[in-house]
Structures are given as structure tokens and as C-alpha cells.
Chains A and B, each alone.
Chain A
Amino acid sequence: MKNAPPKVVLAIGFFVGNFLSAAPADQGSLSIPEHRSSNILLELQATPAVINPSEFLKVFVGNIEKCCEGISPMAGRYLSSGAGITFDPAFDLIEGQNYTVMSRGRHATGYSEPTLTEFIIQPAVPTAAPEVIAMYPSADDIPENTLRFYIHFSTPMQPHLSTKFIKLVDAKGTTDTAAFMAFKQELWSEDRKRLTLLMDPGRIKRGVSQNLNLGPALQENNRYSIVVEDGWPSANGMSQAPRFEKVFSVSQALRTIPSTDSWQITPPRSLTLDPLVIKFDRPFDNQLSQNSIKVLSTNRQIIPGTVSVENHEKTWRFEPLHEWTNAKVVISVDSRFEDVAGNNFRDLLDHSVDSSIKTTDQHTFTVELKPTPD
């Protein structure tokens, strides 16, 4: 973070005082804060043992032109040591707010005249340029009936612009304008850094009118791009994201209900911090993968740890916070956990009208840990 150089205005009296005093004045060296929680420090060559620190250093809200007649200084705590005087404001400073420091040093016969120094804490936000940093599914090859895409941005973005900037383009360069669901409200994460993009389910579900009229948006064996056009402004409006393009090919649709029986589990060893690794038979929804699978002890207590999703959303990796102590652990999978095509453990997204829906909430299975290494 870079500060604008502090504006320094010296009161006229300061010069007069300097000319008249015989001994050189110790005007002090002022450290201007750079962060919201910084203190303000005035270094003095020799700090007298008993002083009223506010005689040397006061901080006012507002710019230098308004300072400081009739304005109370900010509340805070003074600490004085041999090196100088520190002012610790009662509250964090405000980004974008002007402050003026009144400081003065000493000379042989008393205080020198006050110096006014204005500063502003620059907002931290503009330092990160907006850009697309990830898109899920991340594989170069995705099923024809892929339902949900996630676009991750480096900074919070302005909403209500997705239809303007995001396009699905086929190999010939033709844009499909009806590929994604158009909602009144876009599906942003709370910090407005992750946008969820849904393929119009009407294009995916076979036999419904959108599917019959327009056909599926993605077709097997073809190549497509999702393009985020250049110029999408960040939430603070200060900068714009450059163009992003993700090319992928389309493979066979996923039309079977997922089953944990098709997963490959690599059990960890007892009394180690080994990860517990699950290899899926297909790519799963990146976002749901973060919290749809829980590792429990046999008495159903949650074992804390961190989850990472790898291998283009086909590998789930759990690193325990503490060493494994149980001989067995239980893996509990939320039955709403979806593969990239929106199929969960209860039913297929595109199920036939007469198919029955499973009603379980959780799928659980037990994993036996490997023995402790010697």
C-alpha cells in the first residue's frame, strides 16, 4: 500500500520561533500511519520525564484547512517512552478519511510552534486487480449435461452484469444467448467474488420444450468456450477485469445416480496426520464438495480437519487437524451432494416421471484405518 506524500504546512510562528531561539529546536520526527490500526508516533530526541503528551501530539479528524480551532482531538491513549510519544487511537482509523496531526517539539526555552501534517489512509481494495482466477468444473472435458459453473473472481464484482459479459461460444464462434438461466437475482457468494452460473435446465432435461426447440446447449464431441468479456468492473468501480476464456470439450452425459460404492478410499494410518483421500468415479460439484462430506468418529462426533478438492473435482482430500486416534471412522455424505450434472444420491436431475426418489438424508460408510507405522 502506498500513501500519498503527507502534506506538511508549517505554522508561521514556527519560523519565528526558530530564528529567535539560541539552541537548535528538536522538532521531532513524525511517523504517519499507513494502516487502519496503526498508531501515530512522534520521536523526540529527548523526551522529558514528566510531560503532558497531548501538548506534543494531537490527532484531529478532517483536513488541514479545517484544523483545528473548535475541534476536539480524537480520543485515544498516549504512551510515552524515551524514544518519543505514541498516540493509540481509541478506534481504528477510517480508510478514505482525512486526518491532521498537530505535533511540536521542544527547544531550550519551551515548546516549538506546532506543525500540521495531513494524512489519509488509502483504501486497501484497489491494490487487487479484478480478474477471473478459477472456473469450475475445471476439467478440459466435461459431461454434456453439466449443470452448474462457478466463476471465481479475485475481488468483489459489480452484480447484474453477467448476461452482458458471460457467453457460451461454440467452435465456430457462434454465441448461444439462451444457454444460461436468467435470474432476476444473480447467484453471488456473500463476498461477491464467486458467481454461480446455471445452464438452463430446460436445455438439459430431455423432452421439455426448451430442449426440443433449442436442443441441448452443450453437445457431445464438440468444443465450446465460456468467455468472460473484457471490462467487467469490480464492486468498487475502480478497475475492470480483463477477458477470460475457458475452452473445453464435451463428453458423454452423466445419467446414473452416484454411489459411494464406486468411490476409491485411501485410508490414513492411525496416529498420523495422513490425509484421508476419496477418488470419485466422476467429477462432483466443486462448491458442494467443500462441505457435503463429513468425517465422523464411530460415536458420530465430527473430526475436525481441512478439505481440498483436487484432480478436476474428482479427488476429495481431508487433512485432519489432530492425529487420527480411532481405529475406524465414519464417512457421512449428504444425499444432496451433486455431481457436475446435478445428479445427487436421491435422484437424477433428468429423471423419468415415474422414477422413485430415495428419501435418505445421509449415506454413511465406515473406513478402517491402517495400522500405525513402526
Chain B
Amino acid sequence: MLKFGKTTLSSLVLATSMISANVVQGAGLDLKFAGTMDFADTGTLFVGDNYNGAIYAFDMTAGNKPDQVSPVNIGDIDIKIAAVLGVSPSALSINDMAVHPVTSEIYVSVTRIGNFESAPAIMKITQDAEIELLDLTTFDFQKQSLENYPDQETKFRPRGVGKMPPLPRDLAKGDITLSSLAIMDMEFYEGELFVSGVGFDNFLSTLRRIPYPFTGEQSAASVEIYHLSHDQNETRAPIRAMSIQEIDGKTQLIAAYTCSPIVLIGLDEIVDGAKITGRAISDYGNGQPLDMVAYSMQGQEMLFLTSNSRSPQVIPVASMNNAKVYTADDLPRGGQMDLSPTMPIGPIGKPVMFDGMSLHIDALSDSHFVSLTRDMFTGSLNMDSNPKMFPNRFHNLVAEYDFPQYHTEKSK
């Protein structure tokens, strides 16, 4: 944790109301890992800590709205964040990114890997594209420990592809604990925080709902789905990315899974101890979802869904109304892959061009996304502001417009 935090802790005032055994308020900040983040509308920042099995809520509501939101573009942002943290870029791991809904400042959660220990840090990128290390101890916060948290020992079982034996990088998966997926995505909706991830001992895919301000009350439900392309019911792999929207006149959670069904779950179904069956309505093709950003474009509510293996998918929320729910008997038996005639299936919107791969993306303004984008050719990691209508940069493209003669001719 930040060294200079130690002295400021004593000045925090201990709130007296609503303290239960597993809610800490105002005591020493013991954050061990800054992972998944989400903002409440007024600017409270939720941070998932997979090491402590807890969610921290930092009061960052003090900021002001800028007159106009500027696009932010920072090349080689990983090198620049590492410089502020006093390490080489290889000692930095970027975990998540979220935009403050009021100030439009961009927050990036990272892990700083030291000689003997790793430390969490959250960077703030201002509207002037300045990178600052946030002193988290200067904020009031609440901590909510998660019940039914998975153990921190069980690890994934590595596999190769087909009959090929696993490569060293496949085997490395065997060093990753299941609990690293315990806080996968968070969505704040009308006074409650919804959290997807793995939980419990065997029935792993879990949806939690936690009222905020934290009271100690929390619900955890297990989620089962029919996985269209695997042709089986699944209970383990968690929801990777989600959004809460009105569909069929009901508030529903839209959940994106790996390889890659999209599933609807009514918020009223998320009850403590429940075993929910999600309704699979579509599959846009193989891959692992990264982020699902809700935004409006031309008066229409849209979802921008990124993947580690495909172009982003833009899906109109309204297209999910009256969607057919697929079950095991609706499709030919056996696994379905990208090239199977049945795929893609359901309301999936359209894939859109995106130069490079977005590791994390969020809505920055009415007109722009902000993305941490891996450049395909240089491997550099850049923070780009991408227009929502056409989320691209052109440095890796050479088209007719890049020829000087084209412009000479046009100007005649």
C-alpha cells in the first residue's frame, strides 16, 4: 500500500451508523489488490479486491463536471504509469479502467510488482491527460467482505488444443487460482451493486447483489446457463461482462459469457441462495468477452461488447426484446463453432471495425469511448479516445486518403 498513507489514516472519522461485522467503515485501508472497478452515478468508486475477497467503495463524489469533456490520448500509457510508480513497465499489470461519471477523469487499477511483494494502485488520468497516483487513504471508504467466497488454493486445469499437448503458456494457467475470477464484473444499479464471478465451492458461477451504502447485507445466487456453442448446461464459468437494461418491460441483467452466449436474468431472480437459470438468447461467435459498455447513439440504447478474440460487437438493446430463448432441443446436438451453420444466432447486432485490441473500454463522453488499446504491430499500449460512431484510429491504415495526390486532385 502507499507508504504515505500511514500518517493520514488517523484523521479519518469513524462513522457510527450501520456497522455490521463484515462492513468496515473508516478504519485502516487494507486493500491488497485493485481489480475490477465500477462507478456509481454520483462518483462512488467500487473496487474489487480478489485477495481480500472484498469490495471497497471510495467516496469520490467531490469532483465537478467539466464544461466540456476532452478526448484523452496517451501513447505508451503503460510505460508512463510505470514511471510514476517507479518501476519498469514489465513490473506493471493493468487490471481495469473506469470513467468517473461526473468529472470524466479516467481511473486505471493496476498492480505494481516489487522485489518481494505486489502492491495495488489506482491511477487517475485527468482531462489534461496527466497521470496521477491516487492516494486512496484520503478518501472515506466502506469495505464489504464477500460471503461464499471461493477458496484461494484451487487452480485451473491446463489444456492443450485438440490432441496437441499443452505448451508452457497453456500450463501457466495451472498457476492461476479460481478466486482470481471471483469479482469479474460489477454494475451499480439503483442503490445496489451487482457482482458477477465465481463463488461457493462447487457450483461456481455466482451473482451477488449488495445494497450500497454497505450494511453488511448481501445476497449470492448461483447461475446456470444452457451454453449454446458447448451444447451443455454450465454452472462454473462466470459472467465475464454485464449490463442492466429494460428488456421486455422488465429490468434484466444482460450477461456475456466466454465462447460466447448472451443470457438474460431478471433482477428479481437474484435472491440469496437461489439457483438461477439464465435465458440464452444469442451467441455472436467464439471468444472471451472483456467489457460491455452501455451507451446511446442516435437516440438508441446500445451495447458495445469487446472480446479478446474478435472485433467489438455493437448490439441495440431493443433488439433483445421478444428474443427467442434457446434450450438444448432447439439446436443440432454437439458443439457449435464459428463455422457451424447455426452460428451466429439470435440478436447480436453487428461487429465493427476496431484497429488493435481493446483491453479495457468505457464511455468517456456523449461522443467518445476511451480505450486502452494494444497496437497490433508495435505491441504498444495506448489510451485512445475513439468516436462512438466509428471507434478507430488510422495510424496503421493506408487508404486512398493517405496519398497526397488524392488531396491535390480533390482541391482542383
Interface set of A (CB-CB < 8 Å, partner B): 36-37, 59-62, 71-77, 88-97, 99, 123
Residue B262 lies at the interface, judged by CB distance under 8 Å to chain A: no
Q: Would you give the shortest CB distance from B2 to chain A, in whole angstroms?
A: 5
Q: Would you give the shortest CB distance from B221 to chain A, in whole angstroms?
A: 38
Contact B84–A91 (Cβ < 8 Å): no
Selected from B83, B121, B131, B132, the residue in CB contact (under 8 A) with A60 is: B83
Interface set of B (CB-CB < 8 Å, partner A): 2-4, 80, 82-88, 91, 112, 114-115, 119, 121, 131-133, 135
What's the A-B contact tally at a CB cutoff of 8 Å?
66
* Known interface pairs A73-B83, A91-B114; 8 further A-B residue pairs with C-beta atoms within 8 A, sorted by A's residue number: A59-B86, A74-B86, A75-B85, A90-B2, A90-B133, A95-B115, A96-B115, A97-B86
Contacts of A97 in B (CB 8 A): 86-88
Contact B84–A72 (Cβ < 8 Å): yes
Contact A90–B114 (Cβ < 8 Å): no
Secondary structure at the B interface, as helix, strand, loop or mixed, is mixed
Complex CA gap A60/B86 in Å reads 7
Contact B86–A93 (Cβ < 8 Å): yes
Contact A75–B114 (Cβ < 8 Å): no
Contact B3–A72 (Cβ < 8 Å): no
- Contact A92-B84, Cβ < 8 Å, known A75-B132, A75-B133: no
Q: Chain A residue with minimal CB distance to B119?
A: A91
Q: Chain B residue with minimal CB distance to A121?
A: B115
Complex CA gap A2/B115 in Å reads 18
Contacts of B4 in A (CB 8 A): 76-77, 88, 90
Contact B3–A91 (Cβ < 8 Å): yes
Complex CA gap A89/B112 in Å reads 14
Contacts of A93 in B (CB 8 A): 86
Complex CA gap A169/B121 in Å reads 55
Complex CA gap A60/B87 in Å reads 10
Selected from A37, A74, A77, the residue in CB contact (under 8 A) with B85 is: A74
Contact B87–A92 (Cβ < 8 Å): no
Contacts of A96 in B (CB 8 A): 115
Q: Would you give the shortest CB distance from B245 to chain A, in whole angstroms?
A: 39
7 closest A-B pairs (Cβ-Cβ)?
Answer: A75-B133, A74-B86, A77-B4, A95-B115, A75-B84, A71-B83, A72-B84
Q: Chain A residue with minimal CB distance to B133?
A: A75
Contacts of A61 in B (CB 8 A): 82-83, 86-88
Q: Chain B residue with minimal CB distance to A76?
A: B4
Contacts of B80 in A (CB 8 A): 71-72
Complex CA gap A72/B131 in Å reads 8
Q: Which of B82, B85, B135 has the most CB of A within 10 A?
A: B85
Contact A99–B115 (Cβ < 8 Å): no
Selected from A37, A77, A94, the residue in CB contact (under 8 A) with B86 is: A94
Contacts of A99 in B (CB 8 A): 86
Contact A89–B115 (Cβ < 8 Å): no
Selected from A62, A89, A95, A123, the residue in CB contact (under 8 A) with B3 is: A89
Q: Chain A residue with minimal CB distance to B7?
A: A77
Contact A91–B85 (Cβ < 8 Å): yes
Contacts of A36 in B (CB 8 A): 115
Could you name 29 residue pairs across A and B whose Cβ atoms are closer than 8 Å?
A36-B115, A37-B3, A61-B82, A61-B86, A71-B83, A72-B83, A73-B84, A74-B84, A74-B86, A75-B86, A77-B4, A88-B3, A88-B4, A89-B3, A90-B2, A90-B4, A90-B133, A91-B2, A91-B87, A91-B114, A91-B119, A91-B121, A92-B3, A94-B86, A94-B91, A96-B115, A97-B86, A97-B88, A123-B115
